[in-house]
Amino acid sequence: MYEDEQTYAEYAFDVHEDGTVMFGISYVKVNNIVTILDALEQALAEHRTG
């Protein structure tokens, strides 16, 4: 679990060997969620092609 002390947001990520990810996001503003999901999408795309 990761906590952002400035925004009080909480994140939890569980990456599986098959390239899937289970994650939870709490107390996050919508614009921050968009940024997080974009970064996750890019990381998964790199994992698939890498």
The predicted structure's pLDDT at residue 50: 67
> Is 2's pLDDT higher than 70?
yes
Q: In this predicted structure, what is the pLDDT of residue 46?
A: 84
- CA quadruple 24, 25, 30, 36: dihedral sign: negative
pTM of the model: 0.51
Query: In what helix (H) or strand (E) does residue 46 lie, and over which residues does it extend?
Result: helix 30-49
Q: What is the pLDDT of residues 3-48, one digit of tens each?
A: 878 778 888 888 888 978 888 888 888 888 888 788 878 888 887 8
Domain ranges of the chain: 2-49
- In whole angstroms, what is the distance from residue 23 CA to residue 27 CA? 14
Distance CA 17, CA 28 (A): 27
